[in-house]
Amino acid sequence: MILPIISYLKNTVDENAEIEIWQNPSMFPTILKDLNNFYRLCILDKECILIKPVGELQGINSIQKQIRQISTLSDMPSVLYLNKISDYRRKSLIHNRISFIVEDGQMFLPFLALDLKKAAKKFYNRSNSFSPVAQMAYLFFLYAKDQKANATDLAKLLEISIMDASRALQSLYSLNLLTVETSGKTGRSKIYQRIDDPEYFIQGLNKLRSPIKKRVYLKNDIPGSLIAGLDALSSLSMLNPPQNSVRAIGYLQYRNSQLEKVENLEIVNDMQVIELEVWHYNPLLFSKNIEVDKLSLYCSLKDSNDERIEIALEEVLRGESWYMA
């Protein structure tokens, strides 16, 4: 997974900050690899190792022991990366001089003399993701770098109402992802264009949501669907394919289809089925081949705790011109 906090760090601390998958996890004992995922963080010209615990955070004594061991083996400062933190846990970590970064922007990095409280909420808030329509507009401009569009144009291209298109454009504009120029005799026609790479991707990254609305299992493939999920990722990387094929369709397409579903989910692992992802939007809008588009694929798998999936996703995105690396 690409850590969304990078957007906040670039906006508020260091515009040249970088986060990437740690390239040499074999240096750590198996127990440390089982308990944590590792990333390289470069901030304010200082390299450190970012540690994202898998599952619940352990007690302070265990954390201290792991931090010492990881710092010794990597010869770098170690920084915990947490989804959330209680006041008690924050005070405990600070008292014990343990560096940390929290998804809401709190951070304590004593080796950089940096101590930020919840200043990042306006930049990162998991509950403040794109709406499905705003994400459609974001993807449209991502893949059509030089395209200009008004609400009427966008509505036709994305097969949505003009009102929804107008709201989506305003949402992206309010986040400084789009620029606008006025035209027409009255000066009321607004033409939008996205900002340059890689800022467009970076500034929208923390707003992206999974496109998946629901999952169902089918006995047969469905016409008009695209390869999705781990099935798509395996075809784009060196990752092994999953047991069952994975396909994706939009919700409207799903509602209008006659599907032979597998109702008894207990037998899914014992038979060959099609795992169907039903998306908030039509994946055909952004795909140029038989797989779903790469950023939507990332969004559908970004919350995986499997390091192999995280590495494969980063490899897939790294070849794109708009990607931040």
3-state SS, 25-36, equals HHHCCHHHHHHE
**Where does CATH 3.40.1350 sit in the chain?**
2-111
List Cα–Cα distances, 62 to 71, 85, 216, in angstroms.
14, 17, 41
Distance CA 22, CA 3 (A): 13
Q: What is the pTM of this model?
A: 0.65
User: Which pLDDT does position 178 carry in this prediction?
Assistant: 95
H/E run at residue 247: strand 245-250
Residue 124's pLDDT band, with cuts at 50, 70 and 90, is: very low
Per-residue pLDDT at 264: 65
40, 25 Cβ separation under 8 angstroms: no
Fill in the DSSP letter of residue 291.
Answer: B
Contact 106, 120 (CB under 8 A): yes
- Amino acid, single-letter form, for residue 192: Y
- Strand-pairing partners, residue 50, are 39, 79
pLDDT (0 to 100) of residue 233:
96
Helix, strand, coil shares of the chain, percent, nearest 5, are 40, 20, 40
Q: Which token pair is 180?
A: 């606008």
Q: Is the pLDDT of residue 75 over 70?
A: yes
What is the arithmetic mean of pLDDT over 94-98?
A: 88
Q: Between helices 307-318 and 294-301, what is the axis angle to 10°? A: 160
Mean pLDDT, residues 56-62 taken together:
84
Residue 291 has pLDDT above 70, yes or no: yes
Mean pLDDT of the chain: 85
Q: Which CATH number fits domain 2-111: 3.40.50, 3.40.1350, 3.30.310, 2.170.140?
A: 3.40.1350
* Paired strand residues for 218: 261, 274
- On the question of pLDDT at 324 being above 80, the answer is no
CATH numeric code, 132-206: 1.10.10.10
Whole-number Cα distances in Å, 258 to 212, 218, 261, 282, 284:
20, 11, 9, 17, 19
Every domain of the chain with CATH number 1.10.10.10 lies at 132-206
Q: Which amino acid is at 147?
A: Q
pLDDT in tens, 135-179: 999 999 999 989 999 999 999 999 999 999 999 999 999 999 999
